[in-house]
Amino acid sequence: MCLTKIAYDWCSAIYENRQNLEDWKGLLLASLEIGFRHLDPRDYYTASTFTHIEHQPEMVDAVFNSRKSEAIADLLHAWTMGYSLHVQPGTCTEHLICLQNSVQFSPRLRLLVIRSIELIGYGGFEGVGVERLVGLLNHLNVTFEDTVNQSEWLWLLLETLRTSEASLHLYDWYWELPVELAVSCSLPYGHETTYNPQITKLLTEAQEWSKLEHWIGAVWILWPPEAGGITEEDLGHLTPLLFRQRPGAFQKLERWMERWNQRHGENIPESFQRICKQAQEAAQRDTP
């Protein structure tokens, strides 16, 4: 029998007999350490079937309230082993959101919190407030290399970016990351998340040119005019405005589109070259 399963079964037994144990919380943390501390934090998959006890919130509270980074990482590793989170999101989302204010993140804990967020998804955090999720994401500084399921992170970030809180407060890197994820993911046009013109409006009005550059890159990969996500007229207005403020934007957009084409064999939208050429000419005419 796998050591991880034995250790987690101990946790269940310790909790169920806690009234007869003088230091059940200490024994609980020790069991988690024996079962999970030796594992690589990127090794999430196991054939073990755990007897999960997430319906016992006192056990969850005991681990998180210990404020011990590695003990919390042990529990998260148990929850995230396999292809789904072995716990209802509501059991842990509040704890995850509050971690940045109570615990010094070890590299291991950081990776396991990132994996937990990926498995919970955006919808699981709606109850705690998007502004608090933005704070946690900024604290974690998630990179492409940190992600396991790129498509899940793509949709989580796109849903987060739809809010004004994210537009104002989410770090710039989180506007570039969706483009990198979109380039990597083999996804068809026009799927779950639709183009949101409000994001474009917010960025333009706030003159957030770096964020707009990345957002336009995501639009051309995910919702180009050919897919009915945005009109050529809208892009024809936005792109010259962007190029005037960010002269190097065309080269960056072109590299993204070429990488996307090479990775997936998708045709670069005809609108891309046409609109970008017109925008470059317009930006050059407007340059003193």
Q: What does the buried/exposed string (b/e) look like for 141-150 if buried means 16 or more CB atoms within 10 Å of the residue's CB?
A: ebeeebbbeb
Q: Are 32 and 14 in contact (CB under 8 A)?
A: no
What average pLDDT does the segment 24-39 reach? 92
pLDDT value at position 57? 76
Residue pLDDT, tens place only, 187-217:
544 445 678 888 888 899 889 999 999 999 9
Per the listing, tokens 């999960």 go with 52
Cα dihedral 93→97→103→104 (10° resolution): 120
pLDDT value at position 221? 87
Q: What percent of the chain stands above pLDDT 90?
A: 32
What average pLDDT does the segment 248-258 reach? 90
Rounded Cα–Cα distance for residues 14 and 188 (Å): 49
Residue pLDDT, tens place only, 50-96:
665 555 677 888 899 999 999 999 999 988 887 667 677 677 899 99
| pLDDT confidence band for 4 (50 / 70 / 90) | confident
pLDDT value at position 190? 43
pLDDT value at position 184? 87
Residue 110 has pLDDT above 90, yes or no: yes
What average pLDDT does the segment 14-21 reach? 88
pLDDT value at position 89? 66
What average pLDDT does the segment 152-166 reach? 86
User: Mapping DSSP to helix (H, G, I), strand (E, B) and coil, where does residue 258 land?
Assistant: helix
| pLDDT confidence band for 43 (50 / 70 / 90) | confident
What average pLDDT does the segment 127-153 reach? 92
Residue type, 72: I
| pLDDT confidence band for 288 (50 / 70 / 90) | low
Residue 248's H or E segment, with its range, is: none
Q: 104: burial class by Cβ within 10 Å (0-12, 13-18, 19+)?
A: exposed
Residue 223 has pLDDT above 90, yes or no: no
Q: Could you tell me the pTM of the whole model?
A: 0.88
Please give the radius of gyration of the chain, using alpha carbons only, rounded to the nearest integer: 23
Average per-residue pLDDT in the chain?
85
Q: Give the distance, in angstroms, between the CA of residue 145 and the centroid of all CA atoms in the same chain.
A: 12
